[in-house]
Chains A and B, each alone.
Chain A
């Protein structure tokens, strides 16, 4: 139905197997998907269903056991370091656990300067860089003057995740993969993080792949939903189709775990 829109990331038979023999885990099992430009896609599944593994394959951080990934309709080639670096200019990520996402020996400034350098701004005058970093920080309601010369671990989980968004603000990738960006932080910060993500997406018009175990949240944010169970996509389609009219018992179970959805969100947010 959305096929007129341009494909940005798609996959065929994508599989990841960890280990050998008896200890073999099929984390991702022959999944097919087609993500379109500008969409917000949610991948929903319970813990251990293989969401993070799939995300890492999409990012090219781990190799696939089987299957292919297509980037903008062409088979993805990230064979060399140079090609990888180019690929990562287009696709970026926010990881699940902000506390382990930063190098504890590097200051916040370095994290942000890396992004400027990656966008080719390495030779800009220092003042200009500071201006860019300040802008990125203020986008997520952080004050760069307060962060400069500090270490990421001195920030709260919510602040660290906002800093991640500031990073994406500087990088302006085509695709952002957000792997449960709110699962490790307190409930109060969650809404703000989501807000900033959505704002950022509107601002730079990127495709957002949103990974979550919260089907209610997926319904709330996304255009397209993929339901993942034990490494397989069991159901997919537009958010309305999948969530208002689930075909699979697994999807129904996920829905039952979120009691609110039919009562409040159902009517107010459609």
Chain B
């Protein structure tokens, strides 16, 4: 056993897979120590806040102010509203309107704005222009309002007696605050989802749950598969026939169909994460059974088993001491694959709406489902689904890498 581990850690594939998997595991274990929010807590009002650092506007006005003369400040300020895309769009409109291309210099903001202010008319719709495009120009025009008017902003506070607003503070164009000195700053590395929940916190928790589901499903499937395979292979005869009958039955019915039917019949309310995991395990033991049975059949007539019988050992001793150790490598490998396919099965079920109930815990599958229902993929809110896909892929990838690495350790013929 020690030898096998030693060998395994000399396989680059196994090590890569192991490192990735451990990194994921470390994230799941340590992240909650730093971010103690409940993973399903709704923090944002509104859907799909993009990833970034969120700074409290209110607290910003109370933070100490510093004056900085930055030459690029004005350019940045204009650039934030008037990017390359907007400039191109304005040129397009102006050309359609009839201004010669040569007269339009989109890099000169002042000239461009003069032309725009002089000619733009929201009522105009040129040939071939969709109404969506027309609305886009109207919105663009509105956002450019006061772009070049760079004046200080005044904060007004209502007078407690008269109710009239009185200026209390003036914010200059050159005023800055230090983010570290703002009382409330929230980093949302992956933004929020459709309910306004912190994606990263939720994702980490979902990875944890999904790993547990994989582990439970893998354990259940491996235990059933191993027990049946050992019995069918070693005892043989009628026991073998009965077990193989059920194995063939389960092989003939695609696992996913069975899974869907069972999940559906359990009902949304009773489907906790563990239940779903067990159901997945119960429907995916066939291949382990087949593999184990085949191995056992080839082992049971070996001379070392015969010698063990001649030494007076019981069936249990023979199965556990003379058969199991020889197939343990296959069982471990099958187990790793079962974990990975269990996680994928949960994702598949959840996307179909047959996953664990949505109020308890997030899972990778449920996150995918929410992202899909709220059309994150159509709205281009990549942070709501892409990190989930990456997480699923990384888990699968690392488990499969470990498996391939182990395969090379156990089957020297596969080594390069």
Contacts and interface: CB of A to CB of B under 8 A. Distances in A.
A186 to B, nearest CB: 20
A118 B306 contact: no
Interface stretch (B55-63, B249-257, B310-318, B332-340): B310-318
A105 B309 CA distance: 16
B315 A100 contact: no
Contact of B308 (A93, A103, A104): A103
Interface in A101-155: 101-106, 111, 114-115, 117-118
A243 B32 CA distance: 85
A100 B304 contact: yes
A56 interface: yes
A114 B311 contact: yes
B322 A103 contact: yes
Contact of A81 (B303, B311, B315): B315
B9 to A, nearest CB: 21
Nearest to B311: A114
Interface in B268-326: 301-304, 306-315, 321-322, 325-326
A183 interface: no
Contacts of B309: 61, 84, 88
B47 to A, nearest CB: 58
Majority SS at the chain B contact face = helix
A95 B303 contact: yes
B310 A81 contact: no
A33 B326 CA distance: 38
Contacts of A95: 303, 306-307
B313 A114 contact: yes
A180 B304 CA distance: 16
A81 B321 contact: no
A56 B302 CA distance: 12
Contact of A92 (B303, B310, B314): B310
Interface residues on B, range: 10 to 19
A93 B308 CA distance: 11
B322 A118 contact: no
A95 B305 CA distance: 12
Interface in A155-201: none
Given A95-B303, A95-B307, A101-B307, A88 B325 contact: no
B325 A56 contact: no
Interface centre among B301, B302, B312 (most CB of A within 10 A): B312
A85 B312 contact: yes
Contacts of B311: 88, 111, 114-115, 118
Q: How large is the interface on A (under 10, 10 to 19, 20 to 34, 35 or more residues)?
A: 20 to 34
A227 interface: no
A102 B307 contact: yes
**Residue of A61, A62, A92 with most chain B CB atoms under a 10 A cut-off:** A61
A160 to B, nearest CB: 11
A59 interface: yes
Contacts of A89: 312
A102 B304 contact: yes
Contact of A118 (B301, B303, B312): B312
A32 interface: no
A221 B299 CA distance: 34
Nearest to A106: B321
Contact of A97 (B303, B310, B321, B325): B303
Interface in A42-81: 56, 59, 61-62, 81
Given A81-B315, A95-B303, A97-B303, A103 B321 contact: yes
B302 A100 contact: yes
A24 B213 CA distance: 48
A103 B323 CA distance: 9
Contacts of B321: 103, 105-106
Contacts of A56: 306
A116 to B, nearest CB: 10
Contacts of A111: 311
A105 B325 contact: yes
A250 B66 CA distance: 111
A92 B326 CA distance: 24
Nearest to B323: A103
B244 to A, nearest CB: 16
A106 B311 CA distance: 13
A93 B325 CA distance: 24
A65 to B, nearest CB: 15
A115 B307 CA distance: 11
A114 B322 CA distance: 14
Contacts of A103: 304, 307-308, 321-322, 325
A101 B314 contact: no
Contacts of A97: 303
B314 A61 contact: no
A114 B312 contact: yes
Nearest to B1: A105
Nearest to A177: B310
Contacts of A104: 304, 326
Interface in B355-373: none
B374 to A, nearest CB: 55
Contacts of A115: 311
A255 B315 CA distance: 43
A115 B313 CA distance: 11
A96 B311 CA distance: 17
B304 A101 contact: yes
B356 to A, nearest CB: 40
Contacts of A117: 312
Given A59-B310, A85-B312, 11 more contacts: A61-B309, A61-B310, A62-B301, A81-B314, A93-B306, A93-B310, A100-B304, A103-B307, A117-B312, A118-B311, A118-B312
Interface of B: 301-304, 306-315, 321-322, 325-326
5 contacts: A56-B306, A59-B310, A93-B306, A100-B303, A106-B321
The 4 closest A-B pairs by CB, nearest first: A114-B311, A95-B303, A105-B325, A101-B303
Interface of A: 56, 59, 61-62, 81, 84-85, 88-89, 92-93, 95-97, 100-106, 111, 114-115, 117-118
